[in-house]
Amino acid sequence: MENDHDWLINQALQQDIGTGDVTVKYFVSPSATATALVVARQEGVIAGTAIALRVFEKVDSSLEVTLLIDEGSRVAAGAVIMTVSGNAGSILTAERTVLNFLQRLSGIATQTQEYVKIVEGTGARILDTRKTTPGWRYLEKAAVVAGGGMNHRMGLYDRAMVKDNHLMASNGWAGLQQAIQKLKAETPQLEVELEADRLEQVDAFLQMDGVDHILLDNMSIPELLEAVAMRGDKTRPWLEASGGVTKETIHTIALTGVDFISVGALTHSVRALDIALDFTAKS
């Protein structure tokens, strides 16, 4: 049985290898063996180790790979993440695909941890969004968790999130409460989130039954403070700030008292962590 992400690995390897690795074919002896180190060239949080191990296995199951760093660990520049020994050609063929997964996912985990540390002590929690690379969603959201963040809904199926366009495309405000009641009756395990970009919407949503989250979209700091005050001493619905969040603004947003802050940049604007594969010198 194939692993959950074998289809993605297969696509990545097919794109890279195509009809064959011609460099290895002509310039590396088929009998050559080697040991290589996968090394972090800069400080960061490591994520994607399981899929990296699987890439090596798919390319050549005889390769001996040893993982030295746990998923979600913060490492210094120069840390060895894993070692791989065996056929030199196989290691070289797998190298780029392994690094592509590790670099991007570790970049996401590293950036997430930076946001999490900024809001530490405020009570606000950092969420990702659905702004993920097509096909990579589960991996990228796992990397967010490795960095200390939390996952928002995984897709369109595990939480109802009603935005202004949904209201425009349906019966608008008139049928909103009835729709919430129907959803809760048929699928009580699903949470309901309503998007508000004005305080009068927040006020209306707070009066409705069955609302689990209110997303405060692109609101100013005074508006966020007012929305939190409008909820009063109640702990529900949860309040989520979203829209244009940066490292420079997130701490001030967190101090307003919102429960969650969603950050699309965790996955859509990430810089890959510098990770390399280096062959060890022959003795």
Model-level pTM? 0.94
Indicate which residue of 71, 95, 217, 240 is catalytic. Answer: 217
CB 151 within 8 A of CB 127: yes
Q: How far apart are CA 178 and CA 201, in angstroms?
A: 17
pLDDT of residue 244: 85
Active site residue 117: no
| Residue 1 falls inside a structural domain | no
Active site residue 58: no
Indicate which residue of 41, 96, 137, 184 is catalytic. Answer: 96
Residuewise pLDDT in 10s, the chain (283 residues):
345 789 999 999 999 999 999 999 999 999 999 999 999 999 999 999 999 999 999 999 999 999 999 999 999 999 999 999 999 999 999 999 999 999 999 999 999 999 999 999 999 999 999 999 999 999 999 999 999 999 999 999 999 999 988 877 777 677 899 999 999 999 999 999 999 999 999 999 999 999 999 999 999 999 999 999 999 988 899 999 999 899 999 999 999 999 999 999 999 999 999 999 999 976 4
Residues 179 and 130 in one domain: yes
Active site residue 163: yes
Q: How far apart are CA 30 and CA 209, in angstroms?
A: 68
Active site residue 193: no
| Residue 219 falls inside a structural domain | yes
pLDDT of residue 3: 56
Q: How far apart are CA 4 and CA 27, in angstroms?
A: 34
Q: Please write down the HEC assignment for all residues of 213-235.
A: EEEEECCCHHHHHHHHHHHCCCC
List the domain range (segments joined by +) for residue 274: 6-110+270-279
| Residue 80 falls inside a structural domain | yes
| Residue 51 falls inside a structural domain | yes
Indicate which residue of 71, 140, 191, 195 is catalytic. Answer: 195
pLDDT of residue 110: 98
Active site residue 182: no
pLDDT of residue 175: 85
Indicate which residue of 131, 137, 159, 184 is catalytic. Answer: 131
Tokens linked to 9: 């690995």
